[in-house]
Amino acid sequence: MTLKASQKQNFGQYFTSTSITEFMVNLVMEEFKEENKLDDFKVFNLSLLEPAAGDGAFLETLIEYGFKNITAFEIDKYYYNLLKNKFGNNIKLKNSNFLDSSEEEKYDLFIGNPPYLGQNYASEIFQDYIRKYPICKEFFCGNMDLFYWFLHLGIRKLRPGGLLCYITTNYWI
């Protein structure tokens, strides 16, 4: 899928192929199985969050694998409507920025491809986020990427023993 430059600039959107979503879902299922959190793969008991759902690639794979308790955020109205039409009531879908979500909401699994947007290319967006979202103000450091905040908030919202499985760049570590 080709994105307009403004979509990448405003939202940091990049979409994920099915082969990657399947790999990542299999990875977390194996990890949960090893930790004895999946009893005969009864995945419907786990609560999941996809923080930047995009075109729904992760959601499709999660539903195919039997996950039921899925919450997804999508900031882009176009993709929110697409997801609403595609998944109906099969997921809890929110048309808002994940960074605005409550830290009190806890999940067993975070999985997805968070947005990638460098601060050097979107300083106005970063300043706006620092004003709006406490997590952004707390963890802002110059020359960073938007997905750092998604990592911080995801970790805070994990239940004990939960997993966070995001696609990341090779430079963040």
pLDDT in tens, 88-116: 999 999 999 999 999 999 999 999 988 76
The distance of Cα 18 from the centroid of its chain, to the nearest Å, equals 16
Domain membership of residue 11 (yes or no) is no
Of 37-41, 73-77, 88-92, the least confident:
37-41
Please report, to the nearest 10 degrees, the dihedral formed by the alpha carbons of residues 146, 148, 152, 153 taken in order. Answer: 20
CATH number, domain at 78? 3.40.50.150
**Domain with 61 in it:** 16-115+158-166
116 and 150 Cβ atoms separated by less than 8 Å = no
Q: What's the pLDDT band for 120 if we cut at 50, 70, 90?
A: low
- Measured from the Cβ of residue 74, the count of other Cβ atoms closer than 10 Å reads 28
Q: Count the domains in the chain.
A: 1
Q: Which of 142, 157, 160 is nearest to 112 (CA)?
A: 157
**Higher pLDDT pick, 164 / 138:** 164
- Return contacts of 22-27, CB within 8 angstroms, 24+ apart: 22/61, 24/58, 24/111, 24/165, 24/167, 25/58, 25/61, 25/62, 25/65, 25/111, 27/165
Q: Give me the chain's average pLDDT, please.
A: 82
Residue 131 tokens read as 């004003």
Q: Is residue 70 part of a domain?
A: yes
171 located within any domain: no
Average pLDDT on 114-126 reads 69
Q: Is 10 a domain residue?
A: no
Q: What is the pTM of this model?
A: 0.82
Q: Is residue 143 part of a domain?
A: no
Burial class (CB in 10 A: 0-12, 13-18, 19+), 42: exposed
Query: pLDDT value at position 30?
Result: 86
Whether 128 is covered by a domain: the verdict is: no
Contact predicate 3/115, CB 8 Å: no
**pLDDT of 40 strictly over 50:** no
Give pLDDT, residue 149.
82
68, part of any domain: yes
How far apart are the C-alpha atoms of 43 and 68, rounded to whole Å?
A: 7
